[in-house]
Amino acid sequence: MSKLDKRSARKRRHKRIRNKITGTPSKPRLAVKRSLKNMHVQLIDDLREITLVSASSLEPAIKDEVAYGGNKEAAKLVGELVAERALEEGIEEVVFDRAGYKYHGRVKALADAARENGLKF
């Protein structure tokens, strides 16, 4: 499978997933963005179309701890950080949006870390 086919297949999966889930103020969508070098995550209220909480491996708190932001260790730290910020905002439950990525590796590490730190999926 070529890189272009993989990318378009992921986009098709993401469309299919997004048709089934939406974020609300009480249960926002935890949207994951994975790149080769970094991980980004946002809690999104789709009804008001706003981002409630966000975290990234580019933030100084995480960048100082890990040498490379695109590995499972960085993903785990991002998951811990987003869970901490969500709980500060009073958000305990979320809907997980893996954005068409396989639930494996960095995406799984991020989700597990968020769960361990108090978020309910």
Q: What is the pLDDT of residues 6-55, one digit of tens each?
A: 899 999 999 999 899 999 889 999 999 999 999 999 999 999 999 999 99
94 is a domain residue: yes
> What CATH number corresponds to the domain at position 72?
3.30.420.100
The burial class, CB within 10 Å (0-12 / 13-18 / 19+), for 13 is middle
Tell me the residue type at 113: A
Q: Is 89 exposed, middle or buried (0-12, 13-18, 19+ CB in 10 A)?
A: exposed
**Band (2; pLDDT cuts 50, 70, 90):** confident
Residue 86 in any domain: the answer is: yes
The CA-atom distances, in angstroms, between 57 and each of 28, 33, 66, 67, 82 are 21, 11, 9, 10, 11
User: What's the predicted TM-score (pTM) here?
Assistant: 0.90
Identify whether 79 is part of a domain: yes
Residue 82 structural domain: 3-116
Q: How far apart are CA 29 and CA 105, in angstroms?
A: 20
Q: Does the residue 32 lie in any domain?
A: yes
Give domain status of residue 96, yes or no. yes
- ∠ CA 50-55-59, nearest 5°, is 130
Taking alpha carbons only, the member of 46, 45, 120 closest to residue 87 is 120
Residue 121 belongs to a domain: no
How confident is the model over 106-119, as a mean pLDDT? 98
Tally of domains in the chain: 1
Contacts of 81 (CB under 8 A, 6+ apart): 55, 59, 61, 62
Quick one: pLDDT band at residue 104, thresholds 50, 70, 90?
A: very high
